[in-house]
Amino acid sequence: MQTKWNWDHESHHPHQCLYSKKYELCYIPIPKVASSSIKNALQWKDYNDFDDIKYNIKNFIVVLRDPIERWESAMNMFIRDDYYKSDEHTEQYSYFLQNVPFNKILFFYLTPTILQDISTYFNIPMNTNITLNASKKAIKILDRSIIEKTYATDIKFMNAINFVNI
């Protein structure tokens, strides 16, 4: 049975993906890494648990950003939306990449041109005119070393990645 994800719901789960049978690609959304903008730009309609996809998947698209900037973005969202809790927006990357075949992941680093980067690399149509969500910052981390301890695993992980677009 395929799981259909409700993208209007604020939850993000491991194995959640946006799939294109035509391009044999699966986009793994990670919160606070332009996931809403990328989802809107791709305009693919098939939301699934990637374990349930019965078609060939050539590659998984995963976009990452500096873990400290991601945490800072989540804290600003919590303050802006009066949403004080720890949830999937602050989970480590490994939470979202559980059981994803690592040899099929193509990592992209979040840059202002991420939509164009994905579209160009895979030669797929995307609405690249979408503006990435960037809200005003209520806070700016003053001492990165405090948060770096919490995200040491993500930082080590990212330092070992060869990103497609940088």
Residue-wise pLDDT for 84-108, tens only, equals 555 677 777 888 888 888 899 999 9
pLDDT of residue 5: 38
Return the higher-pLDDT residue of 108 and 54: 108
pLDDT digits (tens, 9 = 90+) for 5-53: 344 435 666 778 888 888 999 899 998 999 889 988 998 877 776 666 6
pLDDT at 71 over 80: yes
Residues 83 and 77 sit within 8 Å (Cβ to Cβ): yes
Q: What is the pTM of this model?
A: 0.68
The count of C-alpha atoms lying within 13 angstroms of the C-alpha of 68, restricted to the half-sphere facing its C-beta, is: 14
Sheet with 59-64, strands from edge to edge, namely 46-49, 16-20, 25-28, 59-64, 105-109
Q: Are 15 and 51 in contact (CB under 8 A)?
A: yes
Structure tokens at 154: 């993500």
The answer to whether residues 17 and 27 touch, using CB atoms and an 8 Å cutoff, is yes
Domain boundaries, the chain: 16-159
Per-residue pLDDT tens over the stretch 134-166 = 666 666 666 778 788 888 999 999 999 999 998
Residue with more model confidence, 71 or 13: 71
Count of CB atoms situated within 10 Å of the CB of 73: 22
